[in-house]
Structure 1
Amino acid sequence: MTIHNSHPYGDARFATLGEVRSAGLFKRRGVEFGLVRGRPLYHSNRAGVKITGGAGSGKTSQLAIPMILGSDASFVLLDTKNAEITRIIEAHCALTRVPLYAVDPFGISGLPRLRVSLLSHLTARSATLVPDSQRFWNAIRPDSGGDNVFFDQSGRRFGDAITRGDVGLNGSTSFRSLFDLVSMLRGEFEAWSAWADQAKDRSAPDVASVFAEMKDMYAGSPKTFDSILAGVANALAFMATPAAQETFVSDRGADFTLDAMLGPGKVIVSLIIPEELLETLAPVVRQFFSSIRTIKQRRPDAAPINFLIDEAARLGRFGELAELFAIGRGQGVTPYVFYQADAQIERNLGPTGKGTIEANAALMIDLGGGIRDFETARNRSLSLGYQTIEIDDPLVQTRAQSAASEMMRKVHLEGADPIEAGLRLRQLDYETAHKTKMRKALMEPSQLLDLDRTKMLVQARGYHLRPFIADKTPYYLQRRFAGHYLPNPNEERDLWSVGVRTLWGMRCRKIIEESVPSFLAHLPQYSGGRPLRYVEGFKPTL
């Protein structure tokens, strides 16, 4: 180990503006993520991004929305706060002719309630049907922890067999079909047994073997069988909601499939789930992102896709998140995952989850005003490292000054040897300016807890760059975004006007609603006759 004499306790420091520029973060490519001296920063190396910030720290207004408005990339987002992001960016999508697919089971956004097939990749023609089906069940039926390994694994095996049996009979499957089959299995076993006899003749041998195991367990160990099926049924329980049945449909009943994300231009798909229902619908949310990942993985030539996953901690155990950081870059999928504290990661992804994410993240962003627990602040302080600082040593300096005065007295009053005194005074001159080197954290936990709400700490390890402090500014205070957003339904009472920044300061502009012009009529957000809404003075043109 090499110890540098000039920095014996560490050489941690912040990156300079020149180093940030040399790392390529000012080049307009990839996804925008903040500002330095008014210039946008861009993330382009496709590795994952971990963002930490509590409620009210500007996650939406200062980070997520500028990411979308300031980038040409495609996004898949989880919108949980009254369809806030989706409703705000509607004007941007009109101005830039970006398809906006709103998967809105409960009709919160006012946009067309599009029906989607999340399992379009599970077909009889697929060469990867087996691993894709297994990944599907890993997403909706994750490990529950504790001593339930047998029930978790058996539930996934049973679910996988039912899924591939359905595909074997019908060529494809859907959430509704699986929900009906599991309900039949629990309530009308004889009817399900007859279905299984038909399915096994058109399925792989291992499917027939699992069906036989299920029948034997039903007859010989009914309590164990019921316990396993309870977990399977719980994973699909969200499909009991009529809104879910109407939204998550088969290929034949869908308005679009997730292949829409693979188009040549910018595309946005928004899954809108009420905040209070997020835990209940967590299985379908996990599968939503898992399916898009699988589809993109099969098409490496398609443009990269960015996942914006707010409230990631409320999705339960979702091991694929760690996988997205570890290998998603090579698959063309970049996760932007929002947490409120480090402890949430360990609770959902296990003891190695946090390490996996941080070891593979290109960027780790901590929002000013959003770090509120000491443990997270302490972890971040440790990760930033230590610097070596120099401070005056008053004890040594005072002694040296006193000794120098005494030496001068002896020369002048006692006739001491001036040459010997000169050598001694030279040494004392050094001691009078003596400084002590000490170790100091680059940022103390208290500094992180008190970080300015307009700032954010960026650790750009994926760019081999030292950490730095960047700015975060609300989208509505940036003149370049004027006309690209509608009123925030959670913040503004008047939804028919919006403030925009101009050369002359903030101005109020009306929201105009009129018939959709022909050159925009093909966009999914205007299906079913929905009118065009835009900001006065910013009408979309051909």
Structure 2
Amino acid sequence: MNREDREWHRHGSARFAERADLLRAGMLTQTPTSLFPGFCGGRPIWCDGDGGLLMVAGARSGKLRDILAYNLFSGICSLETILLLDPKGELAAISQNQTPDGKHCRYWNPLALHGLPQDRVNPVGHLKWSSPTLFSDMKVFQEQFLPRSGSANGVYFELNARRWGEAIGLALVKRNGVLTLPDYFRAISSIPEGGRDWLDLAWEMHASGIDACRSVEAEIHAGREDSSGGFRGILGELQKSVACLSDPVLRDSVSPPFDFDLADLCRSAPAMQVYLMAPPEMISPWAPVIKAIFTTAMVLKSRAPQALRQTWILDECAQLKGFDLVPKLFAYGAGIGVRPWAVFQTEQQMNALGKDARSIICSSASVQSWFGLRDLESAKRVSEMMGAETLDYDDPLAQGRAGVEARRLLGDVLSGGDAFRAAPRLAQQMHAAVHRAVQRRSILTPDEVMHLPPDRQLIFADGLPGPIYAGRAPYWTQRWLAGRYHPNPYHPPLDSVLVQTRFGPRRRPVLTGNVPAAFADLPQYRDGTWSWIGDEPT
């Protein structure tokens, strides 16, 4: 901005991005790896950058209905693998038809939600004895499985619990060839009893030839005589980390035989959609297993940079407390081919993930969308992010006074007054009579941010001169999406869907039948049946 522009916009030059700005940035052109964050002037906006995306939207604001659902339907992000945390399993239910893109769908679905498959997966399947990075990977696993609480009094117990967990895990890998969470749970649960199962594992740790295993086995043996509480404190932290696996339903979902491997996400083709279907009330109790899945997927993708880029959608992300992998992905995920999309209800929730998480995520996200805000702090932040403009306006009182004075001076001249003396003053008053005042004004004040229309959102994106005053709408109101989605199980009826036609909204039936041979190899149809919308598909 040159001096003349700075002088004119002395109070600020912020403005909304316009359609021409989006055209120049390539955000109105769809690619096979583009994500959809909203509308601009009725046209879809597309984001194809490597950076992460952030969505902050209040409860019941329509984030699934208006934004997230679009990105899981066939024809959108068709050449990219998607891994998503899907509370309630709604997204899995409505986006189950991926036949046009030939995507393979996998459903980690411990509670058998909505009649969808229950695929079993090993969240730590990369921890194999044959792996040259086993010891390093085990440390990464322990760091995420046993996060730091932040308590100064807990440091000793938490770090030693990680060390014990690492040694036990290594011993199990050496014995079985690969680690599974049920084996890990049973090994830790056997320590207090000290029965045959633990004695067998303790001997294997002692004879393993691994220094960490030998040391920890000796500590546990000696700790049984410890009356200071140190042994019980460390063991308590270790048991707490695997407490979720006492649930037999959860334990079965991560037990062999496994239906797929997380390494499948890194294959060159075809693309996949993997749904982690956990009811909202179970995300927090199951968080250690969910975090283990994401951690393993990150480790595997970082070692296969040539594989398809992955988009990770983390709805209800704040419930994964202490999961500092999320801010790390925003910082360096683009370099390993992972594009995170984190969803929160307020900006304060981000700090539940780890130290400085809010600062890291907000400063690293390439696209941010904010709507449905109900807390003042988030609204203030958005208002400040948007900036201020130099607003010019008519001041009737000042202009009126100047007009009265100009007419008086003109009357004096016409009455025989000295025109040469009155001319400068008259010119100044005539200018003041039409001069528009300027002041500083936020593009949107915090209260205006909190009261956006229900079909609007604010999007900040790299490469644009200002925020987008973007639109949003339910997916079933879009003609171009007709036939791509199934019914939402939480919004009956389930035997038909509402679609938009050229004649307005109409209902179309959900039909079922034998899966065609062309789609029989897709794992989501391994039971031999499939469903589609409307007439018999061609």
TM-score range, shorter chain: over 0.9
Query: Deviation digits for residues 139-193 of structure 1, max 9, x if unmatched?
Result: 2211122232222222212112211221122221010110011011122267535
Q: Which runs of 5+ in 2 are unaligned?
A: none
Match of 1:281 in 2: 286
Match of 2:277 in 1: 272
Distance in 1 of aligned mates of 2:157 and 2:396: 68
Runs of 4 or more, structure 1, over 6 Å off, are none
Distance in 1 of aligned mates of 2:166 and 2:460: 41
Match of 2:451 in 1: 450
Match of 2:328 in 1: 323
Match of 2:434 in 1: 433
Give how far 1:203 is off: 5.1
Distance in 1 of aligned mates of 2:17 and 2:205: 62
Distance in 2 of aligned mates of 1:299 and 1:222: 47
Match of 1:151 among 150, 157, 166: 157
Match of 1:526 in 2: 525
Tell me the SS of whatever aligns to 1:487: coil
Tell me the SS of whatever aligns to 2:393: strand
Q: How does 1:170-189 map to 2 (within 5 A)?
A: 170-188=176-194
Give how far 1:292 is off: 1.0
Distance in 2 of aligned mates of 1:402 and 1:481: 63
Give how far 1:407 is off: 1.6
Query: Deviation digits for residues 182-207 of structure 1, max 9, x if unmatched?
Result: 01112226753542331344353233
Q: How does 1:4-403 map to 2 (within 5 A)?
A: 4-29=6-31, 30-69=34-73, 70-72=76-78, 73-81=80-88, 83-91=89-97, 93-147=98-152, 148-188=154-194, 191-202=197-208, 204-221=210-227, 223-250=229-256, 253-263=257-267, 264-350=269-355, 352-367=356-371, 370-403=372-405
Q: Is the 1:49–1:361 Cα contact (8 Å) retained in structure 2?
A: yes
Tell me the SS of whatever aligns to 1:18: helix
Distance in 1 of aligned mates of 2:485 and 2:198: 51
Give how far 1:117 is off: 1.2
Amino acid at match of 1:534: W
Q: Which runs of 5+ in 1 are unaligned?
A: none
Residues 1:536 and 2:534 are matched in the alignment: yes
Q: Is the 2:94–2:485 Cα contact (8 Å) retained in structure 1?
A: yes
Distance in 2 of aligned mates of 1:538 and 1:388: 59
Query: Deviation digits for residues 193-226 of structure 1, max 9, x if unmatched?
Result: 5423313443532333333334333433562222
Distance in 1 of aligned mates of 2:363 and 2:397: 45
Give how far 1:119 is off: 1.0
Q: Is the 2:72–2:91 Cα contact (8 Å) retained in structure 1?
A: no
Tell me the SS of whatever aligns to 1:96: coil
Match of 2:494 in 1: 495
Amino acid at match of 1:137: Q
Distance in 1 of aligned mates of 2:46 and 2:206: 52
Q: Is the 1:99–1:268 Cα contact (8 Å) retained in structure 2?
A: yes
Matched residues, number: 529
Amino acid at match of 2:310: I
Distance in 1 of aligned mates of 2:420 and 2:215: 101
Give how far 1:2 is off: 8.8
Give how far 1:464 is off: 4.6
Give how far 1:482 is off: 1.4
Tell me the SS of whatever aligns to 1:256: coil
Distance in 2 of aligned mates of 1:6 and 1:221: 76
Q: Is the 2:315–2:342 Cα contact (8 Å) retained in structure 1?
A: yes
Residues 449 and 187 of structure 1: is their aligned pair in 2 closer, same or farther, counting only changes over 3 Å? Answer: same
Tell me the SS of whatever aligns to 1:186: coil
Q: Is the 1:362–1:463 Cα contact (8 Å) retained in structure 2?
A: no
Q: Is the 1:52–1:365 Cα contact (8 Å) retained in structure 2?
A: yes
Distance in 1 of aligned mates of 2:439 and 2:299: 52
Distance in 1 of aligned mates of 2:421 and 2:459: 56
Query: Deviation digits for residues 68-104 of structure 1, max 9, x if unmatched?
Result: 12221221111112x211111112x134332110111
Distance in 2 of aligned mates of 1:390 and 1:538: 61
TM-score (norm 2): 0.94
TM-score (norm 1): 0.93
Query: Deviation digits for residues 361-406 of structure 1, max 9, x if unmatched?
Result: 0011012xx2111111111111111111123344543442233223
Amino acid at match of 1:418: A
Give how far 1:21 is off: 1.0
Q: Is the 1:396–1:434 Cα contact (8 Å) retained in structure 2?
A: no
Distance in 2 of aligned mates of 1:37 and 1:445: 24
Amino acid at match of 1:261: L
Q: Is the 2:476–2:482 Cα contact (8 Å) retained in structure 1?
A: yes
Distance in 1 of aligned mates of 2:351 and 2:280: 22
Query: Deviation digits for residues 281-337 of structure 1, max 9, x if unmatched?
Result: 111111121111111111111001111111111121211111010111111111111
Match of 1:475 in 2: 475
Distance in 2 of aligned mates of 1:481 and 1:205: 59
Q: Is the 1:164–1:203 Cα contact (8 Å) retained in structure 2?
A: no
Amino acid at match of 2:384: L
Distance in 1 of aligned mates of 2:9 and 2:224: 70
Q: Is the 1:112–1:530 Cα contact (8 Å) retained in structure 2?
A: no
Distance in 1 of aligned mates of 2:54 and 2:536: 34
Residues 182 and 537 of structure 1: is their aligned pair in 2 closer, same or farther, counting only changes over 3 Å? Answer: same
